[in-house]
Amino acid sequence: MPTDPHLLFEQWFALAKESEVNDANAVALATADPAGQPSVRMVLLKGHDERGFVFYTNLDSRKGGELIGNPRAALLFHWKSLRRQIRIEGAVEAVSEAEADAYFATRSRDSQLGAWASDQSRPLDARSTFEARYEEIRARFSGTDVPRPPRWSGFRVLPERIEFWLDREHRLHERRLFVRSATGWTEGLLYP
């Protein structure tokens, strides 16, 4: 097995993309506000490399506000069909403007328009209000490219700990833990 957690992630992620019916890149994102109140929700992983794991959101959303106020997070991939999960913990940084622009340009036009129309995580009086805003935005950008909204960007989780969990019979699971130090990654096992 690889001793580089990023290489091992690549292998497991490739298996998940082959076997998972929907959204192999779906990951639970746990954040906490500055007072320590936790919150968790599903997001979609949109990039990963040796620097970290990237997802995008409205910066004014609950998760955006929590990440700005307390820039630490945990991710959990759970691929039930593979009987595997990966836990990632670390600091969080904003992606560059160029990265956010490049990813936003790959989204479908309807998703781009939706990013402009939505006040993500804010109270909504009626679905019709959002639909009307969407139609206004669609008319506003008719015939032109849709630019990235100013309050829409991404975050990168900079991994400090990555745990690979493999289900075994009788709860005799296999757990490999990688911890980043100043000189690189150290590896060890955890009891199930």
Residues belonging to the active site: 171
CB 42 within 8 A of CB 27: yes
Distances (CA, A) of 191 to 87, 113, 162: 15, 48, 15
CB 41 within 8 A of CB 26: no
* First and final C-alpha spacing in the chain: 19
**Integer Cα distance of 149 and 103 in angstroms:** 12
What DSSP designation does 170 have? G
Q: H or E segment at 18?
A: helix 5-19
Sign of CA dihedral 45, 49, 52, 58: negative
